[in-house]
């Protein structure tokens, strides 16, 4: 499977945020997207996920077969918001996402143990600390199998041990043939990842619409 972006452009509020982005990821590869605040990292991830329209160029999956014919069907999108209901328990949230996205390698309890949250599945998500919320959102990646992980500042709010644990999960995902596009201000511990630096278009913002 390949994720291919060609001459990709994205807009926000009618203004060009980025343009001319090109990359190709193969099975097992990761792309780390960096750049200053406002340079368009989150916009790029949302365009790839299909949550925002492509302004120019293209981004597509090739070789996904019947199981993953499109990026939407092939990806997990982990945004700044954790996309979990505060009033539902952590386990109920994860069961919802597993039912919505399909089964994965791990059950809900196993996934929670893998992110260091074993035994707290019964608690309302809204009771959790910031780092615990992020870790339970990361567990969503494990309860359903999606080959492409789109991660927006995935380690924001995590302690050192959790950062290390998540680096191991990302490395294993790639070793199993998965792909990752991650926007970050922090080192992610993804050895051998490709890099993309956003921001060159900042001075031109607003001139393209």
Ligand X SMILES: Nc1ncnc2c1ncn2[C@@H]1O[C@H](COP(=O)(O)OP(=O)(O)OP(=O)(O)O)[C@@H](O)[C@H]1O
Q: Quick check: 53 binds ligand X (CB under 6 A)?
A: no
The DSSP string of 18-45 is EEEEEEEEETT-EEEEE-STTSSHHHHH
Measuring CA to CA, how many Å separate 100 from each of 1, 76, 108, 140, 183? 23, 12, 14, 11, 25
- Pair type for strands 30-34 and 194-197: parallel
Q: Per rule CB under 6 A, is residue 9 in the interface with ligand X?
A: no
Q: Which of 5, 21, 40, 91 is the binder for ligand X (CB under 6 A)?
A: 40
Choosing from 1, 3, 5, 17, the residue that interacts with ligand X (CB under 6 A) is 17
- Whole-angstrom distance, CA of residue 179 vs CA of residue 46: 16
Q: Is 81 in the site for ligand X (CB under 6 A)?
A: no
Judged by CB under 6 A, the chain residues 124 through 143 that form the site for ligand X are none
* Binding of ligand X by 13 (CB under 6 A): yes
Q: Considering the rule CB under 6 A, would residue 35 count as an interface residue with ligand X? A: yes
Q: Is residue 41 close enough to count as binding ligand X by CB under 6 A?
A: yes
Counting contacts by CB under 6 A, is residue 38 touching ligand X?
Answer: yes
Residue 111 CA to residue 145 CA, distance in Å, equals 12
Rule CB under 6 A: which residues touch ligand X?
12-13, 17, 35, 37-43
């Amino acid at each position: 499977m390949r994720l291919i972006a060609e001459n990709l452009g994205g807009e926000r509020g009618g203004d060009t945020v980025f343009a001319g982005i090109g990359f190709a990821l193969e099975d097992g590869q990761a792309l780390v997207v960096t750049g200053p605040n406002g340079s368009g990292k989150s916009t790029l991830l949302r365009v790839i996920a299909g949550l925002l329209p492509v302004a120019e160029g293209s981004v597509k999956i090739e070789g996904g077969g019947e199981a993953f014919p499109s990026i939407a069907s092939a990806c997990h999108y982990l945004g700044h918001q954790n996309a979990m209901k505060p009033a539902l328990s952590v386990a109920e949230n994860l069961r919802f996402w597993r039912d919505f996205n399909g089964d994965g390698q791990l059950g809900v309890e196993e996934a929670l143990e893998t992110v260091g949250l074993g035994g707290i599945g019964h608690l309302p998500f809204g009771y959790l600390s910031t780092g615990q919320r992020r870790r339970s959102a990361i567990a969503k990646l494990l309860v359903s199998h999606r080959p492409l992980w789109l991660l927006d500042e995935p380690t924001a709010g995590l302690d050192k041990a959790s950062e290390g644990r998540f680096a191991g999960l990302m490395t294993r995902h790639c070793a199993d043939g998965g792909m990752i596009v991650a926007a970050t201000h922090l080192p992610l511990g993804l050895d051998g990842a490709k890099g993309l630096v956003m921001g060159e278009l900042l001075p031109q913002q607003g001139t393209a619409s």
